[in-house]
Amino acid sequence: MNLLVKNTILCGLVVLLSLKTFGQIDPQSSPYYANGTYDVLNEAHTDVNPNVYSFRPDVPVGETFPVFIFQLGANGFGGSAIDHTSYDIFMEHLASWGYIVLVIDDASAGLPNGGSFSTVYDWYNGKISDNSHWLSDFANNDKVVVGGHSNGGVNATGFLQDHKQEIEGVVFFASYPSEGILGFGAHNIADFPGYVLSIAGDEDGQSTPSDCFDGYELFEEAACKYYVNIDGLGHGGFGDYDNPDQPVGSIGRDNATASIRHYLVSFMELSMKGNQSAEEHLKVEDFQPNTTKEYESTCPFEGVDEDDDDPVDDDQDDPVDEEDEDPIDDDEDDLEDEDPIDEEEDTANLEEVELELTIFPNPTQSTVNIIINEEIETVSVYDNTGKKVVVSISENVLDFTNLSKGVYFVHVNNNYIHKVVKQ
């Protein structure tokens, strides 16, 4: 094999490697960073104290949605930075994915308790029993999740411990259950049977990652629980408010928003709706934001064999023959004199190449081509809500012409997933 042929092979492999699909994603490339498919209605409810601000999908009667009840973090003594709008970047956004969100307008500090949650939950139950109120038409009362930021999350568990069988899940933004004082007043949530999401910030000095993780571990009987520590995220990154003592963190506002949206929406989509695409984005490292510093869960990814922790086909890990570490023809011994490329360095680089899936052009306005180094057995396409869509397939070509503009996920052979943008 002459030098020209060898260099051509090397360049080809480098090109394929540069098109490799897998690897953690930019947070702002997450399918959950953008709004969902629903327009959102918002409303202030002043017939309850504390007041409630709601977000819900703007649809005709006939569709029901899971409910998320969320309490604000607390302002310090005399502070007013946090108000009911401070978490709209997450709450209104979640509603656009098909959820009813009830924001409890209580940012007061003090000893943790579930008083505000209890008041609002009683109000909510009254409304779903009132045939004239929209909650009776749209709320799925079997899918209720509670949560909050910082002190709001502590209050959520104060409420949760007395409503374990009624509540499906709990979400902590830089928060955790109260351990009481010398154990007195500690929240009893070890036997909560639902779903748990705890998001911590690596630069949060108020609700430290270690405290959040300890709180996560207290849920001993949860159906599934997830702990995430976001790199560079400060306490103020969990809301959109101005408090110099609670900075967003070095991650920056946009990536903080994108990272939290990714985990909040994927958790809700999987836990409340059983969305397959959400499971991959929540659990599989390749589809998590690259701002993820730590991730732990009691529920492994169910899309692969139990004995295989890698959703990517293990047979693709090493394209080089096991008995020959050098894919270049060994018979050309005289290349050693004429080849200026370091053979050992080339071989080391080639051993790391994983030839997997390439789809192009991307973005596309019409068709895309699939290139994969194995026989294509199955191809399916899902939109960013996890709904399977119908496309025309001819050999290795998919036709997106009739699809609406947006983000889609192409699944090939149940092992490979590639995001495609339709323009």
More confident residue, 253 or 2: 253
Q: What is the pLDDT of residues 127-181, one digit of tens each?
A: 999 999 999 999 999 999 999 999 999 999 999 999 999 999 999 999 999 987 7
pLDDT of residue 329: 45
**132-137 contacts: CB < 8 A, separation 24 or more?**
134/56, 135/100, 137/61, 137/64
Please check the confidence at residue 327 and state whether its pLDDT lies above 70: no
Share of the chain above pLDDT 70, in %: 80
Domain 27-297 fold: Rossmann fold (3.40.50)
How far is the C-alpha of 356 from the C-alpha of 142, rounded, in Å?
Answer: 42
| pLDDT-derived band at 356, boundaries 50, 70, 90 | low
Among 35, 137, 185, 152, smallest CA distance to 84 is for: 152
Kindly report the number of other CB atoms within 10 A of residue 209's CB atom.
Answer: 22
The answer to which of 100-114, 220-234, 371-385 has the lowest mean pLDDT is 371-385
Among 420, 373, 422, 367, smallest CA distance to 393 is for: 367
More confident residue, 96 or 331: 96
Please check the confidence at residue 196 and state whether its pLDDT lies above 80: yes
The CATH code for residues 358-423 is 2.60.40
pLDDT of residue 323: 44
For the full predicted model, state whether its pTM sits above 0.85: no
How far is the C-alpha of 154 from the C-alpha of 207, rounded, in Å?
Answer: 11
Write down the residue that tokens 């510093």 correspond to. Answer: 293
Q: Which two tokens stand for residue 72?
A: 């604000």
Domain regions of the chain by residue span: 1-21+326-355, 27-297, 358-423
Write down the residue that tokens 């748990």 correspond to. Answer: 196
Please check the confidence at residue 287 and state whether its pLDDT lies above 90: yes
Q: What is the pLDDT of residues 144-158, one digit of tens each?
A: 999 999 999 999 999
Please check the confidence at residue 416 and state whether its pLDDT lies above 60: yes
Please provide the average confidence, as pLDDT, over all residues in the chain: 83
